[in-house]
Amino acid sequence: MSARLPDEILTESATNRRQRWDGRLHTEQVHLARSTGQRLAYDPAQNGWVHADAPDADDDPDLPIWACLSRLVLRPWRTDDLDHYHAMLDDADLWRYMTEDMPTPFSKAVAADLIAISNAGHHHEVRAIQTPHGVVGQVRLLWTGSDLQPGEAEISYWLGNAYRGRGWAWEAVRQMTQAAMRSRTGLQRVVAYVHPDNVASARVLIRAGYEPSRPRTADGWMGFSCARQTV
């Protein structure tokens, strides 16, 4: 079984709907833009190519360059996050594209255990996504695993249902990836795998600077990767 990134995602950034701060274009998008005569500009703040005619956030030409660099902070989960953490995860729809099944029943005691697991061990790094609107979800980097090659890590993430569609996920993925590359000199590549039906999550990775790669052999989930030299 194989999974291919839908064409509408590959070509999405070639339209004027994309804003300058939606993230740098990946290689296929750059080739597409050049082949269709679209103007490109190199954005040093995002370390990559963007559409020269793309609007700035909120269509404000006077927006300062740092305004959209980071609207969030990544921090460990705390015990006082429990009620909100439980409320966000107590949602069957959120678990639909996760690799694990939703615990049944999903009690606060189970949620407390998950917070404890998130902050334990050296095999992963888990961070709550703190925004001006409060905590909206989670991003995780797995450092060790049977499917990982030397120099690889795997990123995963989720957002509470009420916080989707606001750009929080791709910002968190980009920030987590860049921080990992800076702090771990041996890290060469971060990979991610997305259910073939989860188009929204695929868009998150593309906007965060990831490129499509081979699907995962075990289940055919779409593959994405971000190499050190492209961060």
Distance CA 108, CA 227 (A): 38
Band (47; pLDDT cuts 50, 70, 90): low
Q: How far is CA 50 from the centre of its chain?
A: 18
Q: Does 229 or 184 have the greater pLDDT score?
A: 184
Report the pLDDT value the prediction gives residue 94, as an integer from 0 to 100: 95
- Peptide bond between residue 105 and the one before it cis (omega within 30 degrees of 0): yes
Q: What is the rounded average pLDDT of the residues 43-62?
A: 56
Determine what percent of the chain is predicted with pLDDT higher than 90. 56
Q: Does 71 or 160 have the greater pLDDT score?
A: 160
In the chain the domains, ranked by start, together with CATH numbers, are 1-69 (no CATH), 71-230 (3.40.630.30)
Distances (CA, A) of 149 to 29, 30, 67, 123, 145: 27, 28, 37, 14, 8
Mean confidence (pLDDT) of the chain: 82
Q: What is the rounded average pLDDT of the residues 49-62?
A: 55
Band (54; pLDDT cuts 50, 70, 90): low
Distances (CA, A) of 5 to 172, 187, 212: 22, 25, 7
Distance CA 91, CA 209 (A): 29
Distance CA 162, CA 60 (A): 26
Kindly report, residue by residue over 126-177, the tens digit of the pLDDT: 999 999 889 999 999 999 877 788 899 999 999 999 999 888 999 999 999 9
Contact 20/43 with Cβ under 8 angstroms? yes
Q: Is 50 exposed, middle or buried (0-12, 13-18, 19+ CB in 10 A)?
A: buried
Kindly report, residue by residue over 185-224, the tens digit of the pLDDT: 899 999 999 999 999 999 999 999 999 999 988 889 999 9
Q: Does 197 or 25 have the greater pLDDT score?
A: 197
Determine the angle formed by the axes of helices 168-183 and 199-207, rounding to 10 degrees: 50
Whether residue 231 has pLDDT greater than 60: no
Report the pLDDT value the prediction gives residue 58, as an integer from 0 to 100: 40
Report the pLDDT value the prediction gives residue 155, as an integer from 0 to 100: 97
Report the pLDDT value the prediction gives residue 7, as an integer from 0 to 100: 59
Report the pLDDT value the prediction gives residue 173, as an integer from 0 to 100: 96
Contact 216/193 with Cβ under 8 angstroms? yes
Nearest to 137 by CA among 157, 112, 116, 109: 157
Cα–Cα–Cα angle for 80, 83, 87, rounded to 5 degrees: 145
